């Protein structure tokens, strides 16, 4: 190689990091020198060299995107479907959950996911696991305690920012409202919760975990009419997961739980608790405890 060619090669090598940085290609900037050396040594074609560099950039960019999406989602990081004990919850079909985790059309159609059962049976774990899987599919998910969200929306209403706050939540394909039955109408004016449900109806999906059946939701919403209207909008085009098993925490000897535990197992001579069949707006298929309800919502 003559002196002119050597000088030009050195100049190109000096310019490349600057140009890659300007183009915001940090992975290519970091790896190009090592890959160029390997390419020269092994006689790669220009197409292979460029393709390998771009592949590394795309892969690392996707890894960073997923990491940001998980942080932004506020999902519990340790609650994945891989660590969920399906054997302990006989009412839940692993195949059905896998289909939900693969999106299976329900997110695009704005359908909802409702998980009912006593404390400590894994409702939050299951829904969070589905949320993590949806992030892997490219969807945006937000996990929030319902009582905290109610306070946040109430503050936005006082400051005349409620439409803007609802618009922020609209960025998420799935909004997970954890522990809905712990929100109380004497804690804050929960009509903002109904406004959120109505705003997302048939457009954006909501997932809910709740200890209490629909009949007890009068404790959440300001009046019975609003309760019925909220249930109608949530149940229309929804999948309901009924988790009537013993608490993980109690089975593990922790004796935990955030409140008194409703009966979770069937006693002799008594039917099992019907967590979601307590509302006239719903129907139950007793032969299939994970029921998809697809009916015409009543106008409220």
Q: What is the pLDDT of residues 135-176, one digit of tens each?
A: 999 999 999 999 999 999 999 999 999 999 999 999 999 999
Residues paired with residue 145 on neighbouring β-strands, in sequence order: 178
DSSP tally for the chain: helices H, then strands E: 10, 6
Distance CA 207, CA 172 (A): 12
CB atoms within 10 A of CB 74: 16
What local confidence, expressed as pLDDT, does residue 64 receive? 94
Cα separation of 128 and 73, whole Å? 10
pLDDT of 116 strictly over 70: yes
Q: What is the pTM of this model?
A: 0.75
> What is the pLDDT, as a whole number, of residue 3?
58
Q: Say what the pLDDT of residue 103 is.
A: 85
Over residues 26-44, mean pLDDT:
93
Q: Where are the alpha helices (DSSP H) in 89-145?
A: 94-101, 123-136
CA 160 to each of CA 94, 99, 168, 269: distance values in angstroms, whole numbers, following the listed order: 44, 40, 15, 54
CA–CA distance, 176 with 168 (Å, rounded to integer): 14
With cut-offs at 50, 70 and 90, classify the pLDDT of residue 290: very low
Is a pLDDT exceeding 70 seen at residue 296?
Answer: no
Q: CA 150, CA 163: separation in Å to the nearest integer? A: 14
Average pLDDT over residues 58-65: 94
> What six digits make up the tokens of 186?
């004497």
pLDDT tens digits, 81-95: 999 999 999 889 999
Q: With bands split at pLDDT 50, 70 and 90, how would you rate the model's confidence at 125?
A: very high
User: For residue 220, what pLDDT band results from cuts at 50, 70 and 90?
Assistant: confident
């Amino acid at each position: 190689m003559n002196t002119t060619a050597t000088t030009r090669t050195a100049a190109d090598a000096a310019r490349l990091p600057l140009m890659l940085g300007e183009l915001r290609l940090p992975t290519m900037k970091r790896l190009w020198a090592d890959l160029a050396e390997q390419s020269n040594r092994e006689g790669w074609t220009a197409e292979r060299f460029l393709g390998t560099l771009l592949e590394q950039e795309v892969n690392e960019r996707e890894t960073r995107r997923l990491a940001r999406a998980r942080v932004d989602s506020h999902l519990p990081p340790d609650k994945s479907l891989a660590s969920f004990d399906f054997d302990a919850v006989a009412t839940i079909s692993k195949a059905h959950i896998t289909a939900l985790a693969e999106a299976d059309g329900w997110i695009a159609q704005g359908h909802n996911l409702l998980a009912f059962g006593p404390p400590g049976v894994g409702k939050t774990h299951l829904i969070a696991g589905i949320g993590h899987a949806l992030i892997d599919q490219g969807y945006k998910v937000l996990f929030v305690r319902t009582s905290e969200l109610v306070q946040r929306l109430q503050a936005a209403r006082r400051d005349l920012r409620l439409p803007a706050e609802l618009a922020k939540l609209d960025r998420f394909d799935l909004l997970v409202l954890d522990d809905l039955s712990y929100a109380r109408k004497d804690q804050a004016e929960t009509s903002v919760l109904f406004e959120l449900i109505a705003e997302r109806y048939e457009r954006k999906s909501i997932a809910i975990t709740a200890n209490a059946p629909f009949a007890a939701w009068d404790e959440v919403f300001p009046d019975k009419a609003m309760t019925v209207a909220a249930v109608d909008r949530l149940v229309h085009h929804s999948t309901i997961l009924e988790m009537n098993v013993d608490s993980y925490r109690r089975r593990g000897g922790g004796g935990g739980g955030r409140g008194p535990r409703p009966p979770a197992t069937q006693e002799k001579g008594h039917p099992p608790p019907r967590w979601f069949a307590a509302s006239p707006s719903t129907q139950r298929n007793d032969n299939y405890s994970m029921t998809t309800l697809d009916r015409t919502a009543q106008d409220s």
